[in-house]
Amino acid sequence: MRRILAIPFAAGSVSEAIFRTISPGVESNLGQRFIVESKPGADGAIGTAEVVRAAPDGYTLLLGPTAVYAVTPHLFKNLGFDPLTALDPISLLADAPLLAVIGANVPAKSLKELAGYMSAHPGKFNYGSPGSGSPAHLTGAAFSQQTGNSMVYVPYKGTPPMVQALLAGDIQVAFPTLTGIIGPVKAGKLRVLAVMARARMAELPDVPTTIEAGFPQLVGGNWWVLAAPRGTNSRIIERLATEFRTALAEPGVRKRVRDFGHVAIGLAPAATAGFLKSESARYKSIVELGGIKPE
């Protein structure tokens, strides 16, 4: 039998590219191919619901991002399922740390300087994200909460228009991943103040982490977790987790994943479950403190 991997977004996404980078070794060891099916709609809820309803036989899997597991459940009143209880996590495969980025016209060289400058110029700062409910959106809300500064939120339809707005000065701050901004950063048109991770990025060795910058709770990224319908045999879960962890340990695979702006991880099932629970609680708190009303 062929295994079906559902990705709850349009074809050609970064997640699909990353999975196709990782999967050949897994397919070889399992003796089975993965068929990737894109299931876009409702911020990932449609594709996720299809996997939730699938038979728990190990042949239908979900590769979902941060929003699907930790954000969307807190933004929709009638989602119809809880991804933390309706799915069995297999592995946290990869993570793309978010970055604190400002336009070159903002005179700040660190997050603390940015917070101070915002305090001195209230009402003058806008921040954007690739879409409402994205990790970048809620990270901006968290930064406002932690610094006591209010920013006007401007949603965009994707990363490219958000980057253009940042370059044009329509917004002053954004919290994207590296992939969409590497060009303007190298050209000196945008400035990265911090990496929202526990370790610095190899691509930005001189940029401190948010922990180093004095914001230890401001850690987050756009990560990808592989999961199966609830009730899938634990031996299947463990076998899949082992195969993906083995594939992600290959230096060539790790490099290609890094080329997509991600860090290869390969977390075990139990650790992945704990990670999802922690991230969901963190984003729930951001939503509630930010006064963001579920639809």
Q: Are residues 161 and 141 in the same domain?
A: yes
Alpha carbon of residue 206 to chain centroid: 23
Contact 70, 44 (CB under 8 A): no
**Whether 88 and 234 share a structural domain:** yes
Question: CA nearest 125: which of 133, 292, 108, 218?
Answer: 108
From CA 52, how far away is CA 16, in angstroms rounded?
A: 20
Q: Are 183 and 45 in the same domain?
A: no
Give pLDDT, residue 111: 96
Which domain CATH number covers 266? 3.40.190.150
CA max distance for the chain: 62
Is 112 inside any structural domain?
Answer: yes
The answer to whether residues 66 and 83 belong to one domain is yes
pLDDT of residue 1: 55
Contacts of 256 (CB under 8 A, 6+ apart): 21
Residue 200: inside a domain: no
Which domain CATH number covers 168? 3.40.190.10
What is the total count of domains within the chain? 2
CA 234 to centroid of chain Cα atoms: 26
Residue 137 belongs to a domain:
yes
Are residues 164 and 90 part of one domain?
Answer: no
Residue 90 lies in a domain: yes
Is 209 contained in some domain? no
204 assigned to some structural domain: no
Helix-helix angle 14-30:234-248, to 10 degrees: 110
12: pLDDT strictly greater than 80: no
Query: Is there a single domain that holds both residue 186 and residue 243?
Result: no
Which tokens sit at 286?
A: 């951001």
Q: Render pLDDT for 72-107 as a digit per residue (tens, 0 to 9).
A: 999 988 889 999 999 999 999 999 999 999 999 999
Q: Do 79 and 124 belong to one domain?
A: no
pLDDT, tens digit, 9 for 90 and up, residues 129-171? 998 889 999 999 999 999 999 999 999 988 999 999 999 999 9
| Chain centre to alpha carbon of residue 83 | 16
Asked if pLDDT for residue 2 goes beyond 70, the answer is no
In a domain, 211, yes or no: no
Q: Which domain holds residue 141?
A: 99-195
Residue 60 sits in the same domain as residue 83? yes
Is 160 within the bounds of a domain?
Answer: yes
Q: Show which of 195, 230, 247 is a domain's final residue.
A: 195
pLDDT in tens, 165-196: 999 999 999 999 998 899 999 999 999 999 99
What pLDDT is recorded for position 179?
Answer: 87
Indicate whether this model's pTM tops 0.85. yes
Is the separation of the CB atoms in 288 and 260 below 8 Å? no
Based on the domain organization, do 113 and 168 belong to the same domain? yes
User: Are 86 and 228 contained in the same domain?
Assistant: yes
Same domain, 121 and 172: yes
Does 182 lie in the same domain as 107? yes
Mean residue pLDDT across the chain: 93
| 95 within 8 A of 262, measured Cβ to Cβ | yes
